Structure 1
Amino acid sequence: MEAPTQYFLWSIFFFTAIAILLRRSSSRNLALPPGPRPLPVLGNLLELGQNPHRSLALLARTHGPVMYLRLGSIYTVVISSPASAKEVLKTKDHSTSARQIPDVMQAVGHHQVSVAWLSPNQSWRYLRTLMKANLFNARSLEATQLLRRRKVQELIEYIKGKNGEIVHVARAAFCTVINLISTTFLSMDMVDIFKSESAQELKDLMSGIMEEAGSPNLSDFFPFLAPIDLQGRRRRFKAYFKKLNDFFDVVMDNRSAGDGGRTNHDLLDVLLQLNREENSKLNRRIIKSLLMDSFVAGSETSSTTVEWAMAELLRRPELMATARDEIATVIGLEREVEESDMSSLPFLQAVLKETLRLHPPVPLLLPRKAEASTEINGYMVPKRSQLLVNVWAIGRDERVWENPDCFVPERFLGGSEIGFDGHHFELLPFGSGRRICPGLPLGVRMVELMLASLLQSFEWGLPDGMKPEDLDLTEKFGLTLVMAAPLKAIASPTKLI
């Protein structure tokens, strides 16, 4: 090798080595994010309270949008601004998109096969591709459009049959969503909307899974306590999980024994056919995991969003009147609302955006974990730190939103382009980046159709002479954020003029 060439190569090697050392030195010199002083052993656990999303938002006012806490033995970074959320969910997505797995998920092994809990590895990429190709693409959504309308028709008939009696809004919405999902996947209704006991039992089961998975658990903060299960969360979660798992086992066993003369094909047929292909990566356990994630997450988030939207409109009757007037003007009262009408209902869409801003279904998103030491907004996030994105706090940030605690759908009118598709980091109810909720397209279609149909078909009021300002909007924290006192309302069929 000639001397000049040798000199050139050694120069490249030398300067590359210097750059790497400087980068490592710079990373080591970056400060940890600010945060409240931790107590011995407990760290900052006592500061979480019953509603961690609110407690963390309050702490962020003092310590900033990138905040460092020690929750027991778990080091946690909390993100509370659009700019820092963009860093985590987009700019540094490849190093921050692993999952911090709750103990209850580990207890049943669901995290090993679930698209929601897997780290972004080859199996995760395969499942995401599978869901996009077979479940949530435009062709599949169009093919199931009539099914969604039929389920909403059943919801309207159920409420008409109440004849002025109290309607449990979340339960009715839950029945509609769960039957849509079960009919799409399994060609069957999972509950009878007209039999409230069976519907409530299944809703309690789904809610229990979400609550145990999302509520603070000592076993997560002190992993050595997990086998003891001091709070009983592992025991309760196993019981809930087993009931649903056993149900899917029965359905799949019956499907394997024969199709019972069915002429239509559902999504379970598609999954089983893929399972039978040579060298298939899809097995029975993964299929049940896909069903579990779709049923639990889809039913809870959609029905909860409808309940919050109706509650906010009942608190502001003038806004409900505006939404109903828009529907009456654009669609009328004689024909039913269709999904194709939604683009012509800007105020209804604004109501949904404002609902999701104030009441994001998953207020802290699913917890992430840093796969490597990472810089976020000038601070060092150590490897293996838990990352929580407080989308509830971002939606209530007065630096971003005017009158952030007020329900003002009009803020999304007048040329506003802000949406919840993951591209606008001030509104992130479904996350962003690679880990954005894969069921977003279906969930939004269903919620919009239900909400528009409920407003078109009925005039709504509160029971027992209750005034709008008396409506209780207290939250109950879990993986999803639900109303602590379920919404009850009176529906009177709309009269044709």
Structure 2
Amino acid sequence: MCPRITGSTAEYTALLYATGVTALASFLLLFWYQHEGGRPSKVKLPPGPRGLPLLGNVTVSSYDFHYRKCTEWAQKYGPIFRFCIGKVNVVVLNDFASIKKYLSMEATLIRSQRSIFEGVTMGMTTLSGPAWVENRRFCLRVLKDLGFGKKSMEEHIKEELRYLIARLVDAKGSPVPIREHLIPSTSNVITALLFGTTYSFDDPKRKYLDKLLARLFKIIMSGSAVDFQPYWLRKIADRIPYTRSYALRKASLDLHAFIRERVKEHQETIDPNFHRDFIDGYLNKVTEHQDNPNSHFREAYILGNAIDFFVAGTGTVAASIQWHLFNCAKNPDTVQAVIQREIDGVIGREREPAWEDRSQMHFTMACIWEMLRWRTVVPLGLPRGTREDTFFDDYFIPKDTVVLANLLAVHRDPELWERPDEFDPTRFLKKDGTGLVKKPEHLIAFSVGKRMCPAEALTTVEIFLYLTTFLQKFRVLPAEGQQLPNLSSPALTVAHPSLQRLRFLPR
């Protein structure tokens, strides 16, 4: 027989209510302490939008968080502001002085654990501390030895351009989906760097790699580089098909498997005295440190570093080239015509453009700098984290805060640039037209400090060679009867339906 409950129903209900209130109060107190109670007294946090208790700013998600929201909040709260999503603290820097100062601090040299790649891949993008220092230093040295920005790498780019130009000639002036051509082309340049070989257009390996990269870039472009989900929820989402977390993990694992096969091929043929490519160099470094249990050179890092090179050297480069081509198509009688006159005068119509030509092609280089400013491909950069409690000015920044740099806000700052919303390459030219001005330090498309993008040199070489080769051979125009949108709109992306097809008419 069950024991009889004594007392009135009202008393019992009151007891349950009191227990529930106590539990809720305890939870709220613990939550407050984790967010606020651990900070020193008499310090202040950066201003920012107030969110809901426990939940924070629920209107922000990894899918729709972007620099436009940051710029809107910066206008209201100032150049440094903070917001929360659940337990995630986010601080956004929106002016050049703050970005330059605080991204150079030791406290912010780690990559945030809230990066969408955290736990997915391990390379320069996600590593921190000594592992990041050693891998970055080694990667840059190997790239330099292999011809990073030198003639050997330039020849790979030129070879790839010959194939691409032939395919555009075959189109006979019909509109072509240019991104579908650029992604495979620029990825083949990275393939040469990493694997020491390029793939022909009909090679099954190339077709498979192109599909993998297309999947990966589509996922990356579908939302923020910051994952705002609680860790426990992300672990669940990683295993649920059709979520962004699952798709990113699956695409990365498939790309890992492809790269791992190339690593295996290298292990079977490697010469310890000669580096054919990046993988050879890294494998030899792994062997050199194999007896050191604390070595920062591991085979797992080869896969992560390779993915980093594909993402930085393919997706972002292709997007930059796209913006140049659409800008030329939008302005065929001004921007495009001036670049082509410079090409005709310095290079001519027959000789292939070379990187060394840049020293005489001031307007073209000014256009490249201006496009990096005007259409910043990664407007919020990659998320940093704070390894310890620190201060930005008078603001207290707790440990494990996500720190974002609004690079595009700097590039559209009217205090730094005249008519910042306009594409005006002459801002980088000397008044007498004899050359380029010194590159402004507030042109920060590749971020700032020790964690700035290491691929700036290769990116610039690729953009220059692709742009000059295209405009040497073709007049670039929109599809017949199509009018391109206003390219200065920050809301416009390379995925916009009107920015898919262009005509390449032989000159």
Q: What's the TM-score once normalised by structure 2's chain length?
A: 0.81
Whether 1:54 and 2:68 are equivalent positions in the alignment is yes
Aligned partner of 1:31 in structure 2 is 44
Alpha-carbon distance between aligned partners in 2 of 1:264 and 1:193, rounded to the nearest angstrom = 27
Aligned partner of 2:135 in structure 1 is 127
Alpha-carbon distance between aligned partners in 2 of 1:78 and 1:418, rounded to the nearest angstrom = 28
Alpha-carbon distance between aligned partners in 1 of 2:111 and 2:341, rounded to the nearest angstrom = 45
| Cα distance change on mapping 1:177 and 1:333 into 2, 3 Å | same
The amino acid of 2:73's aligned partner reads: L
Aligned-residue offset at 1:75: 1.1
Query: Which of 388, 391, 394 lines up with 2:407 in the alignment?
Result: 391
Residue identity (%): 25
Query: Which of 90, 96, 111 lines up with 1:82 in the alignment?
Result: 96
Return the structure number with greater helix share: 1
Aligned-residue offset at 1:460: 0.9
1:328-339 matched pairs, under 5 angstroms:
328-339=344-355
| Cα distance change on mapping 1:274 and 1:412 into 2, 3 Å | same
Aligned-residue offset at 1:269: 2.1
Q: Secondary structure at the match of 2:245?
A: helix
Whether 1:354 and 2:376 are equivalent positions in the alignment is no
Aligned-residue offset at 1:327: 1.4
Q: Secondary structure at the match of 1:75?
A: strand
How many aligned positions are there? Answer: 451
Aligned partner of 1:257 in structure 2 is 268
| Cα distance change on mapping 1:32 and 1:52 into 2, 3 Å | same
Aligned partner of 1:245 in structure 2 is 256
Aligned-residue offset at 1:339: 0.6
**What are the superposed Cα offsets for residues 126-182 of structure 1, whole Å, 9 maximum, x if unpaired?**
101111211146854323222222122222222112111222222222222111111
Aligned partner of 1:96 in structure 2 is 108
Query: Which of 152, 156, 163 lines up with 2:161 in the alignment?
Result: 152
Q: Secondary structure at the match of 1:398?
A: coil
Contact 1:171 1:199 in 2 (8 A): no
Aligned-residue offset at 1:301: 0.9
Aligned-residue offset at 1:85: 0.9
Moved over 6 A (4+): 193-197, 470-474
Q: Secondary structure at the match of 2:450?
A: helix
Q: Which moved more, 1:278-287 or 1:311-320?
A: 278-287
Query: Which of 433, 436, 448 lines up with 2:464 in the alignment?
Result: 448
Aligned CA RMSD, in angstroms, stands at: 3.0
Whether 1:43 and 2:62 are equivalent positions in the alignment is no
Alpha-carbon distance between aligned partners in 2 of 1:52 and 1:104, rounded to the nearest angstrom = 14
Contact 1:192 1:199 in 2 (8 A): no
Aligned-residue offset at 1:232: 1.5
Alpha-carbon distance between aligned partners in 1 of 2:467 and 2:202, rounded to the nearest angstrom = 17
The amino acid of 2:307's aligned partner reads: M
1:268-279 matched pairs, under 5 angstroms:
268-277=279-288, 279=291
Whether 1:192 and 2:201 are equivalent positions in the alignment is yes
Q: Secondary structure at the match of 1:68?
A: strand
Q: Secondary structure at the match of 2:90?
A: strand
Aligned partner of 1:201 in structure 2 is 211
Aligned-residue offset at 1:202: 3.8
The amino acid of 1:40's aligned partner reads: P
Query: Which of 324, 336, 339 lines up with 1:323 in the alignment?
Result: 339
**What are the superposed Cα offsets for residues 378-433 of structure 1, whole Å, 9 maximum, x if unpaired?**
333233211110101211122222222222222222266453xxx71x32111111
Aligned partner of 1:7 in structure 2 is none
Gaps of 5+ in 2: 1-38
Q: Secondary structure at the match of 1:46?
A: coil
Alpha-carbon distance between aligned partners in 2 of 1:441 and 1:375, rounded to the nearest angstrom = 33
| Cα distance change on mapping 1:82 and 1:472 into 2, 3 Å | closer
The amino acid of 1:369's aligned partner reads: G
Aligned partner of 1:9 in structure 2 is none
Contact 1:356 1:429 in 2 (8 A): yes
Contact 1:304 1:361 in 2 (8 A): yes
Query: Which of 275, 298, 305 lines up with 2:320 in the alignment?
Result: 305
The amino acid of 1:491's aligned partner reads: F
Contact 2:225 2:383 in 1 (8 A): no
Aligned partner of 1:11 in structure 2 is none
Gaps of 5+ in 1: 1-25
Contact 2:325 2:476 in 1 (8 A): no
Q: Secondary structure at the match of 2:135?
A: helix
Question: Which is greater in Rg?
Answer: 2
Alpha-carbon distance between aligned partners in 1 of 2:356 and 2:202, rounded to the nearest angstrom = 26
Aligned-residue offset at 1:198: 5.7
Alpha-carbon distance between aligned partners in 1 of 2:387 and 2:457, rounded to the nearest angstrom = 29
| Cα distance change on mapping 1:283 and 1:200 into 2, 3 Å | closer
| Cα distance change on mapping 1:35 and 1:320 into 2, 3 Å | same
